[in-house]
Amino acid sequence: MTGYSEGSMKVQIKNFMAKLIEVSKEFKDEKPKDWIDAFALLKKYIIQLPEKQNKKVVFIDEFPWIATKKSGFLAAFENFWNDFCAARTDLIVVVCGSAASYMVNKIIKNPKGLSKRITRKIHLKPFVLREVKEFLEQKDIHMLDYEILKIYMSLGGVAEYLEQIQRGESATSVIDRLCFQPGAYLEDEFDEVFESLFNTSSFHKKIIDVLAAGRKKGMTRNELLQECENDSGGRFSKSLKELEISGFILKYNSYRGKSKEILYRIYDEFCLFYLQFIKSFKGDRWQKLYQRQEYNTWCGYSFETICLKHITEIKRALKIEGIASENYAWSNNNAQVDLVIDRADNWMNLIEMKFFNDEYTIDSDYLIKLERKKKEFRDDKAKRKALFLTMLTTHGVKQNKYSTAIVDHDLTIECLFS
């Protein structure tokens, strides 16, 4: 069964019985007064099924919608599992919910009847770039990797959004139609998603807003806390964790000189795109907006975030996927490195990420900048390790005497699709 959005306890039980009657007409005259009665009927139905045949599956979708206040649904479900299901070997119970805060706090971290009862947790993540390409090809939509990347930078890997792409469209026309035209499909998506996922979404939005306005490389917990003007207690910590679990923000390691720090940054492409463009330029057209300077700044940050999601693919392209590594960002007062792959074989890859609409050219000034990065990093972090300078760009690095002098590996976006 699937929970009924904003339905009362009476409506939810009626919905439950409708599904039960679909599989057995013997219950058509039953009128359960509460969830204890309803689950008793479900037990009765399951008991009469042959025990040694195939597995029986009870699948409850949008679980949080059913568990309305004072309904007793969660307690009745706990009893159903512990008293009946746990003793059987032929029964699988699957519960799903898009309200992340409820699923984490009431199911995964349940301290009572469901504590340590979960057999498997399935965190449904967005597609990576390879999966997006395969998904579009299944729809007979064939695009260049560069075009797919531009869509991914705006919409992310959410299948529901990608389902709206039509054959023959460019990335620019897809983004304009779904985000900027009057009545656009994703016009109100940001607010709707947060309200459906989190019970008190206003504070989750506040954290996202602060991250969007803060340093693009990320903010420490204390910096976030100060900007959110909240104490370090419950509400902030809980909201931050829920955003991380739900994939909206990334918690990652960074080094400031020799000192390690934990940073948070927006990890969801659509959230960042919405706050940067849809919210700020409502009524404009994408064909006009992507020519602004803000677009170039956003491209660099969004591309970097996508690369962080595809570290496995990057390591595969470098032929080091079998080598254990620590991955982090690094900076000091004089230089910064977007991504460091600190390998167990005493080598390090310093990865410089650049989004550009053509081959990227390294000139004499940029060569000096890259050499400074290597020197500053070596002095702080790598006195006993060898360094590889790796460029990861959209279309590769243009070969000249400067690139030859500094670049050890030249990767393009093709590696992110591998």
What per-residue confidence (pLDDT) applies to 231?
59
Q: Let me know the angle formed at the C-alpha of 161 by 268 and 394, rounded to the nearest 5 degrees.
A: 60
**Low-confidence winner among 10-24, 226-240, 299-313 (lowest mean pLDDT):** 226-240
Q: Set out the domains of the chain in order of their start, with CATH numbers.
A: 9-108 (no CATH), 126-309 (1.10.10.10), 310-417 (3.40.1350.10)
What per-residue confidence (pLDDT) applies to 235?
82
Q: Which two tokens stand for residue 18?
A: 């409708």
Please write the tens of the pLDDT for every residue from 261-298: 999 999 999 999 999 999 999 889 999 999 999 999 99
Q: Is the dihedral of CA 198, 199, 205, 208 positive or negative?
A: negative
278: left (phi over 0), alpha (psi -120 to 50) or beta: alpha
Beta bridge partners of 261: 254
Share above pLDDT 70 across residues of the chain, in percent, rounded to a whole number? 99
What per-residue confidence (pLDDT) applies to 59?
97
Please write the tens of the pLDDT for every residue from 86-106: 988 899 999 999 887 788 888
Mean pLDDT of the chain: 93
**Low-confidence winner among 122-136, 217-231, 384-398, 399-413 (lowest mean pLDDT):** 217-231
pLDDT at 211 over 70: yes
Question: pTM higher than 0.85, yes or no?
Answer: yes
Which residues have CB under 8 Å from 183's CB, separation 6+? none
Share above pLDDT 90 across residues of the chain, in percent, rounded to a whole number? 78
The residue among 263, 243, 235 whose CA lies nearest residue 104 is: 243
pLDDT at 391 over 60: yes
The residue among 211, 138, 66, 132 whose CA lies nearest residue 416 is: 132
pLDDT at 258 over 80: yes
**How far is the CA of 125 from the CAs of 8, 128, 159, in angstroms?**
30, 9, 10
Virtual CA dihedral for 148, 153, 155, 159, nearest 10 degrees?
A: 50
pLDDT at 360 over 90: yes
Let me know: does 20 contact 14? Beta carbons within 8 Å.
no
Please write the tens of the pLDDT for every residue from 62-83: 999 999 889 999 999 999 999 9
Phi (first) and psi of residue 291, to 5 degrees: -95, 0
Confidence of residue 260 (pLDDT cuts 50, 70, 90): very high
Q: Could you give the CA distance from residue 153 to residue 306 in angstroms, rounded to a whole number?
A: 7
What per-residue confidence (pLDDT) applies to 221?
93
